[in-house]
Structure formats: C-alpha cells, structure tokens
C-alpha cells in the first residue's frame, strides 16, 4: 500500500506549524507567500519520499505515490495541519 504524495513548507522560526500540500506548485506558492510576509525567514519546500512505521518486530517502509483524483476532498482537514517539534 502506498501513501499519497505531498509536500511541506517548513521554516525554523517562532512558529513551526506547517500544512500538507498535494502539489509542488501549491507548496511553492505558499513558500513564496510566507517569505514575503516574513522577509527574515528562509522557507523550505520538502517532498515526502517515504513513510516509516514500526510494526513489531520490524520497521516497514511505505513508498509515496501520486495522490488519486479527488484525494484532497477525502483527507480530513485536521490531518493536513500539524506541528513539527525540534528535538
């Protein structure tokens, strides 16, 4: 089973919230918008390549694929926004 392809816009700043974008173009547009609003920031567009999950006793890798048509309408909006914690 493959996971849908997505991109993130990330910056190391006071707020590290990020959104999942289902196209590269949407992520680039968001990075440009954020850079204009935060001229001292540097914004990174990152593509998900794989997802890893521990399944006892093995770690499995799931490849990332192109999202199916209509995928954006099927994703719970709560799952599109999350906070990246630095450690």
Closest CA to 23 of 64, 62, 66: 66
Is the distance from CB of 48 to CB of 35 less than 8 angstroms? no
Q: For position 55, what pLDDT does the model report?
A: 77
Q: For position 87, what pLDDT does the model report?
A: 36
Q: For position 16, what pLDDT does the model report?
A: 65
Give the phi and the psi of residue 30 in degrees, each rounded to 5: -65, -40
Tell me the average confidence (pLDDT) per consecutive run of 10 residues in the chain, 87 residues long.
Answer: 84 74 95 91 90 78 68 53 44
Distance, C-alpha 31 to centroid of its chain: 12
Is the distance from CB of 23 to CB of 82 less than 8 angstroms? no
Q: For position 26, what pLDDT does the model report?
A: 95
Q: For position 75, what pLDDT does the model report?
A: 53
Is the distance from CB of 67 to CB of 75 less than 8 angstroms? no
């Amino acid at each position: 089973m493959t996971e849908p392809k997505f991109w993130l816009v990330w910056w190391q700043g006071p707020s590290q919230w990020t959104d999942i974008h289902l196209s590269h173009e949407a992520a680039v547009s968001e990075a440009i918008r954020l850079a204009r609003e935060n001229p001292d920031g540097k914004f990174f567009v990152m593509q998900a390549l794989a997802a890893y999950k521990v399944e006892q006793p093995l770690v499995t890798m799931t490849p990332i694929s192109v999202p199916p048509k209509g995928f954006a309408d099927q994703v719970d909006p709560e799952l599109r926004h999350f906070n990246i914690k630095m450690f």
